[in-house]
Structure 1
């Protein structure tokens, strides 16, 4: 949060941020299950875009909330997501198993960094969902790594549920913050009367 901003402004910004993260993930999942499955070039592009978006979102969030140095978990998450974007682009030329393995490593690391960010921000509200999301992401990463060594050929449909759960957690956090802000606003109005 900006040094001059108060807790309410910080919560409003996080609410908007979480809504935008949820909206992107919902759109990505819809695209993955439609054009991503039927058009391989579109699926490949979606697989590269997903970690790139995460890198950008973490970078914006860290800068908005005190800068990169003040938010090491988000800064590292942005860096890992940027590296993953490149790794996925390279892995697409190798095999679907390599792509899923890249997503697995990313999901573990990004999940742990998200968990740390959620714990650090606990006082801003709705962070229990971010902590759960981070933990589930790390577990999903382990599943991706296991699945990457299977004989069956993985595809974008194996990654889409991961993004869908991310959307759900971001949406829960955004709604939770909306309710919290509405209650505080109502309490403030009642106190002034």
Structure 2
């Protein structure tokens, strides 16, 4: 079991802060895009591509892909999603939102599994477990919305990214408090 003063919880805290900041920057760019199609398309492709890279870096920093099968699978799912978003964007935003919905379900389940697995080593994973469950539910909602007659926009994905930012930020803060308490107990 990792202790709260080992480098891994501190790295995980930094990783969660980075994920939160990326999501907040993505949200700002999405809101400020003004519907400009080239920027919207780029943002839609960047989001799952970033998730693939982030999961890859996280898995490699925590024992490698073989030791982190849920993250290895999440890298694959997010990579396939990136390609699927490119293909779906050729059709329309309904297809893009459906792809995001399927991705949210799959990545949410994988995040939930990763959180449960990490709980044993790091604690403070209840937020990531909750995030994975919420992502799964949000994916179902996005699929439902993709079937609506009203054309979706990138703003339909912003709440999903917002909850992700919130959960990553909360996890980072939770780990920071745990690390601080552990340090104070020793000192």
| TM-score when normalising by structure 1 | 0.93
Q: 1:102 aligns with which of 99, 103, 108?
A: 99
Deviation, structure 1 residue 99: 0.2
Question: CA RMSD, aligned part only?
Answer: 1.3
Structure 2: segments with no counterpart, 5+ residues: none
- Separation (CA, whole Å) in 2 of partners of 1:24 and 1:126: 21
- Separation (CA, whole Å) in 1 of partners of 2:114 and 2:140: 20
Alignment partner, residue 41 of structure 1: 38
- Separation (CA, whole Å) in 2 of partners of 1:160 and 1:82: 20
Q: 1:116 aligns with which of 113, 117, 120?
A: 113
Matched residue SS, 2:91: coil
1:68-118 CA-to-partner distances (Å, cap 9, x unmatched) read: 111000000011000000000111111111000100100000000000000
Alignment partner, residue 157 of structure 1: 155
Q: 1:26 aligns with which of 4, 15, 24?
A: 24
Q: 1:93 aligns with which of 87, 90, 94?
A: 90
- Separation (CA, whole Å) in 2 of partners of 1:43 and 1:166: 19
The alignment status of 1:56 with 2:53, answered yes or no, reads: yes
1:48-69 CA-to-partner distances (Å, cap 9, x unmatched) read: 0000000000001111111111
Q: 1:17 aligns with which of 15, 18, 31?
A: 15
Q: 1:133 aligns with which of 131, 154, 164?
A: 131
Structure 1: segments with no counterpart, 5+ residues: none
Alignment partner, residue 144 of structure 1: 142
1:11–1:125 CA contact under 8 A, matched in 2: no
Deviation, structure 1 residue 38: 3.2
Deviation, structure 1 residue 6: 5.6
| TM-score when normalising by structure 2 | 0.96
